[in-house]
Structure 1
Amino acid sequence: MEHERFDLEPLPRRDLDPQELLRVIFDYAAKIASARILEHVLLLMADMGRDMIVSDRCTVWLLDVNKNELWSKVAHGLDEIRIPKTAGLVGYAVTHDKAVFIDDAYTNEEYQPYLLNGALLTDQQTGYRTKALMVIPFRNNQGEIIGAYQAINKMTATEQFSAKDMEYLTLAASYAGKSLESALLTNEIEETQKEIIFTIGEIGECRSKETGNHVKRVAEYSYVLALGLGLSHEEAALLKMASPMHDIGKMAIPDAILMKPGKLTEEEFNRIQNHTVIGYHLLKASKRPILQSAATVAYEHHEKWNGTGYPRGLRGEEIHIFGRITAIADVFDALGSERVYKKAWELDRILELFKAERGEHFDPAVVDVFFHKLPDILQIRDTYVDTHGEKPSLKTKKRRH
């Protein structure tokens, strides 16, 4: 006889004892200190606040002064969201420099206009039931408000936040303000580096009559493939920033060779191949991780899994994983794009080539991930169309350089 099944409500959780709270703080502090990417710092901070006060959701909002908006990528289960600086409860807390504490969003009268413009409107869209709410502004080292913590729904039996919870979240907010200022500065430096790298990469591509969107697409393809292969978000982001420099060595190749519409002579082909060595020597002296990775990508993205590539004839895993990933990203985009010396290939023809070159030109694992991630790859291709406004039609033989 089958047992009758009952769906039971999950048991309520309890507040942390002091020892558990300290463990949460120390664990997250260590993770936050080692995180380099702003999105990850925000996510860790949101998780820390949520775990400290045993809430269902916690969001870290940042103030974008230039756009007069509040934004977050850390609303659990949601993508980046942006709201006007004065919108909703978090907007009220930031503009009035006031912590907000609500037991039940649907019966509260004091903040009802802000709730209708924020949490309750979101409930209507998502079906989520907001009850208890806390919002705590936080500041940078100069005392300026730069964002706020927002916690939703207490997960203990009381279903209400306490004065102790507000004390804990205020502590988390104080730490967040100090840590985020450093992360924001690091992020600004890395964004500047990325912009410079993309610009230099575009210069190399423009000299060979390719578009700047080629380097953007290769960067995005590489990021997707890296994550699909199990690389960390930090490694994938590093490759994404470095890969636009893969053909930087072309800046030293004469225009007569780069722009030649006909078949290259053996001497010309050897000159073209040398762009890998030139690019490597241009970048290798830097101590910056981005440029070190870019040097590796420039040097090895024309190596082949079977050892017949150039410039060193590396084989298999002798080729750095960044080189193996960029190789397939670069070839996919090169074949699917029209160049001065060739027409674009159709997508089916490219896919057949990749199947044939699995284990020959390309790392089999990277090829497998490529096919698994093909919908994402094609979406990137269509997002970053060529500058003349036409999508790569994905059609004659590719000149292999």
Structure 2
Amino acid sequence: MKATILIVDDVPENIDIFVEILAPHHRTKVALNGERALRIARSDNPPDLILLDVMMPGLSGYQVCERLKADPETRTIPVIFVTAMSETADEQRGLELGAVDYITKPISPPIALARVRTHLALHRQRQELARQVEQRTAELLRTRQQIVRRLSRAAEFRDNETGNHIARMSHIARLIAQAAGMGAEFVETLFNAAPMHDIGKIGIPDSILLKSGRLEPEELAIMRQHTEIGAKIIGRHDDDLLKAAHSIALYHHEKWDGSGYPQGLGSEEIPLMARIAAVADVFDALTSERPYKKAWPLEEAVGYIEAQAGTHFDPALIDPFRRSLGEIARIVERYADHQDPYLDFDP
């Protein structure tokens, strides 16, 4: 497939020379000024390489290059300056702005063609390397997410909160975050970290974890240690996903009024992901049947969440929660406990 070369020069005769050199080998586009060049570069069919005159009325070649390199959509397009200038300082300035090479006037057709071919080849190599890195990164992320989810499933096998609790809770947390206007990266990190919220229950004795009746005060104190145990299991990391998982595991039982555990944090001292996870976790616990309780009707559970605004829950999260109820009901139905407990987390 032929590459597309954008030729930018305010002198039509100079454009004609390049078209004659390049047309037998590549597709060509032309622009007589910098503004037109930027529009073409930002179009749905951007060029593979740009030959850019330096001295032009309006935007100079340097200014055009600077804008191209400042735009994430165009910064990777190779730019070769075409100029009569031969001073070292001029070449240095262009290279500092991000150009890959210079071609000086008068044009030597063999040299111009060779340099275009060289930089097209290098550009293709960089694109392929970036594609491979992106693919490998995505594969590693998927693997890491699956490890997190499987480890979370392992914790559920020891708990009365069986079934699809972690899937429901994770989806509900994501819906609330989306409705609250959180960015896509925040939302996906929360979604993938939330399954680890109760991983610390692995460290709680069965006599307490599986008890069907009310816990005695000393038993309750041991049960509450699952937040700190979970944080220790996950550990402290620079990785965003594991940092989020650590935070959620440690703080999802903190309360807005400071009466929660393990540290008694209040209001915005509690990390936002943990505040969102708390709403999702409590709501799913209320609407799920357990050996020691019946499932609450949806309306009663919603009423409880709303009543606890400002005491248990961040008041700013109640409206996003309420606006998400239609989708939350769909998630509750899709991941009901009578469904396959190994359902994928995908919507």
TM over 0.5: yes
In structure 2, relative to structure 1, the CA distance for the partners of 1:181 and 1:22 (3 Å cut) is: farther
Whether 2:158 is the aligned partner of 1:207: answer: yes
SS in 2 for 1:207: coil
- Cα distance in 1 for partners of 2:339, 2:138 equals 32
How far the C-alpha of 1:218 sits from its partner, in A, is: 1.5
Question: In structure 1, which of residues 161, 169, 178 is the aligned counterpart of residue 129 of structure 2?
Answer: 178
- Cα distance in 2 for partners of 1:24, 1:212 equals 52
- Cα distance in 1 for partners of 2:224, 2:75 equals 43
- Cα distance in 2 for partners of 1:30, 1:194 equals 32
Length, aligned pairs only: 245
- Cα distance in 2 for partners of 1:325, 1:242 equals 12
Aligned to 1:334: 285
Question: In structure 2, which of residues 191, 200, 206 is the aligned counterpart of residue 240 of structure 1?
Answer: 191
Instruction: Letter of the 1:278 partner, please give it.
Output: I
Q: How does 1:215-230 map to 2 (within 5 A)?
A: 215-230=166-181
Stretches of structure 2 that go unaligned for 5 or more consecutive residues are 1-37, 42-49, 53-60, 78-119, 342-347
Question: In structure 2, which of residues 297, 310, 327 is the aligned counterpart of residue 376 of structure 1?
Answer: 327
Whether 2:344 is the aligned partner of 1:386: answer: no
Instruction: Letter of the 2:206 partner, please give it.
Output: D
- Cα distance in 2 for partners of 1:368, 1:31 equals 40
Aligned to 1:309: 260
- Cα distance in 2 for partners of 1:366, 1:170 equals 52
8 Å CA contact 1:211, 1:387 repeated in 2? no
Question: In structure 2, which of residues 221, 241, 244 is the aligned counterpart of residue 293 of structure 1?
Answer: 244
Aligned to 2:103: none
SS in 2 for 1:332: helix
8 Å CA contact 1:249, 1:298 repeated in 2? yes
Stretches of structure 1 that go unaligned for 5 or more consecutive residues are 1-12, 33-47, 49-168, 391-401
Aligned to 2:113: none
- Cα distance in 1 for partners of 2:242, 2:320 equals 26
SS in 1 for 2:255: coil
In structure 2, relative to structure 1, the CA distance for the partners of 1:31 and 1:207 (3 Å cut) is: farther
Whether 2:288 is the aligned partner of 1:360: answer: no
Whether 2:108 is the aligned partner of 1:27: answer: no
8 Å CA contact 2:208, 2:219 repeated in 1? yes
Instruction: Letter of the 2:188 partner, please give it.
Output: A
SS in 2 for 1:28: coil
Question: In structure 2, which of residues 207, 213, 228 is the aligned counterpart of residue 256 of structure 1?
Answer: 207
TM-score (norm 1): 0.56
- Cα distance in 1 for partners of 2:162, 2:142 equals 21
Instruction: Letter of the 1:27 partner, please give it.
Output: D
Q: CA RMSD in A?
A: 2.9
TM-score (norm 2): 0.64
- Cα distance in 2 for partners of 1:172, 1:227 equals 37
8 Å CA contact 1:204, 1:247 repeated in 2? yes
- Cα distance in 1 for partners of 2:39, 2:196 equals 52
In structure 2, relative to structure 1, the CA distance for the partners of 1:350 and 1:26 (3 Å cut) is: same
Instruction: Letter of the 1:28 partner, please give it.
Output: P
In structure 2, relative to structure 1, the CA distance for the partners of 1:382 and 1:21 (3 Å cut) is: farther
Q: How does 1:139-154 map to 2 (within 5 A)?
A: none
Instruction: Letter of the 2:67 partner, please give it.
Output: R
8 Å CA contact 1:201, 1:244 repeated in 2? yes
8 Å CA contact 2:164, 2:335 repeated in 1? yes
How far the C-alpha of 1:368 sits from its partner, in A, is: 1.3
In structure 2, relative to structure 1, the CA distance for the partners of 1:26 and 1:350 (3 Å cut) is: same
- Cα distance in 2 for partners of 1:31, 1:333 equals 46
Question: In structure 2, which of residues 228, 235, 245 is the aligned counterpart of residue 284 of structure 1?
Answer: 235
Aligned to 2:269: 318
